[in-house]
Amino acid sequence: MVVLTYNEISWLWKVQPGLTYIHGANLLAGTFKYTAQYRNLETITDSYDLVINFNSGGILPNVYETKGKIEKMAKIIGKPLYDFHVNSDRTLCMIRNDKVTSMYENGFDLILFISHLTTHLYWVSYYGIYGKEPWKAEEHGYGCLI
Amino acid sequence: MMIKNWVRNTSTLEYKSYNVVQNVISFTNAIYSKGKGDETYDVIIRDFFNYWTNLIPDNDNRKGHFQIALARANKAVQYEKEGKHIEASEEWRKIFDSNLFPHSDKNEERENETNRFSTAARPWSF
């Protein structure tokens, strides 16, 4: 099970001050903000209210968007929620499960994870705003663990 | 009122007042049925244009006008999030009557460190 260290929590407080680590529950909760740009596409500044639960049993935590923002985006552009890579259990599906270990080859890494989450949420925002993928997502299919 | 202002400000757009009202009502019922929550009004206006851009058929001559308004609203929303109020107001003034929509005269200093990336994991779902 992943448990954040004091140094990781201190670092996180600097880069994502809207997120609070709840020790007893071993999760992060709050607002995740980012400004990002993929290649020469549009820069996007956005925020999501998240719960990031480290008691997932896997390398990566389970990430939930808690205010229905992604669901609203799906309704606006008339797409099903799974096109935004939200699983039926409401977890965000950030990567194919068979690719997790190659991306996180040394196990969970908070800095890498925050970067991964930023790029993932950029993808979600871009798809909701512009109605097209900024880069190709995986085909839908069974087996994603996060 | 704002959407009617857009229609009045877009001379070649044929969009009956009754239909504007109907479309605003159906949009808010579909997307903001529980109220605006903590969403800002600029985003709600952008969402309106986005919603109808995706619903209006390609052969409807309003489609192009919605697409142009959406592109400008997207820019305005992003500028606003970056604290660039001057640039945001300029985009809104292209959509709405510039005699009525105020022009901001000051930007805000914000530390927006942009994460630029060229490779990323591909999202998935089952």
Instruction: Please write the tens of the pLDDT for every residue from A26-84.
Output: 999 999 999 999 999 999 999 999 999 999 999 999 999 999 999 999 999 999 999 99
The pLDDT of residue A145 is above 60: no
The band of A134, judged by pLDDT with boundaries at 50, 70 and 90, is: very high
Residue B9: pLDDT band (50, 70, 90) is very high
46-65 of A, contacting B, C-beta below 8 A? 46
Within-domain flag for A89: yes
* pLDDT tens string B65-105: 999 999 999 999 999 999 999 999 999 999 999 888 899 99
Domain of A89 in residue numbering reads as 6-130
Residue B111 scores a pLDDT above 90: no
Nearest chain B residue to A97, by CA: B124
CB contact, 8 Å: A36 with chain B? yes
Q: Is A124 on the interface with B (CB under 8 A)?
A: yes
* Number of inter-chain CB pairs under 8 A, A vs B: 109
What is residue A140's predicted lDDT score, i.e. its pLDDT? 76
Q: Do A75 and B37 touch (CB under 8 A)?
A: no
Residues of A in contact with B37 (CB under 8 A): 67
Give the pLDDT band of residue A130 (cuts 50, 70, 90).
Answer: very high
| Closest of A112, A130, A142 to residue A42, by C-alpha | A130
Q: How many domains does chain A have?
A: 1
- pLDDT number for residue B126: 62
pLDDT in tens, A5-18: 999 999 999 999 99
CB contact under 8 A, B54 and A76: yes
Interface check for A142 against chain B (CB to CB < 8 A): the answer is: yes
Contacts of A121 in chain B (CB under 8 A): none
How far, in Å, CA of A22 to CA of A45, rounded? 26
The closest alpha carbon to A146, from A57, A29, A32, A30, belongs to: A57
Tokens of A113: 């994870």
Give CB contacts under 8 A, 24+ apart, made by A51-57. Answer: A51/A27, A52/A19, A52/A27, A52/A28, A53/A25, A53/A26, A53/A27, A54/A1, A54/A2, A54/A3, A54/A4, A54/A26, A54/A27, A54/A28, A55/A1, A55/A25, A55/A26, A55/A27, A56/A145, A56/A146, A57/A1
Q: Is B94 near chain A, with CB under 8 Å?
A: no
- Please state the rounded mean pLDDT for residues B8-21: 93
> What's the per-residue H, E or C state across chain B?
CHHHHHHHHCCCCCCCHHHHHHHHHHHHHHHCCCCCCCCCHHHHHHHHHHHHHHHCCCCCCCHHHHHHHHHHHHHHHHHHHCCCHHHHHHHHHHHCCCCCCCCCCCCCCCCCCCEEECCCCCCCCC
Query: Given this model, what pLDDT does residue A1 score?
Result: 81
Asked whether residue A141 is assigned to any structural domain, the reply reads no
Query: Cβ separation of B115 and A141 shorter than 8 Å?
Result: no
**Does residue A137 sit within a domain?**
no
Measured in whole angstroms, how far is the alpha carbon of residue B37 from the centre of its chain? 17
pLDDT of residue B125: 65
Rounded distance, CA A146 to CA A119, Å?
15
Q: Tell whether ipTM is more than 0.85.
A: yes
pTM for the full predicted model = 0.94
What per-residue confidence (pLDDT) applies to A116? 97
Q: What integer pLDDT is reported at residue A146 of this predicted model?
A: 45
A144 pLDDT above the threshold of 50: no
Give domain status of residue A97, yes or no.
Answer: yes
pLDDT at B3 over 50: yes
> Taking CB atoms and an 8 Å limit, are B31 and A72 in contact across chains?
yes
In the block, tokens 């400004």 appear at A35
Pairing, β A27-38 against β B115-117 = parallel
Rounded (10°) CA dihedral A60, A142, A48, A22: -40
A45 interfaces chain B, CB cutoff of 8 Å: yes
Average pLDDT for B28-32: 97
Strands A62-65 and A44-53: antiparallel
Count the Cβ atoms, other than its own, within 10 Å of residue B102. Answer: 10
Region A117-122: mean pLDDT is 98
Contact residues, chain A, for B124 at CB < 8 Å? 85, 93-96, 137-138, 140-141, 144
* Lookup: tokens for A121: 């949420």
Q: What is the pLDDT of residue A80?
A: 95
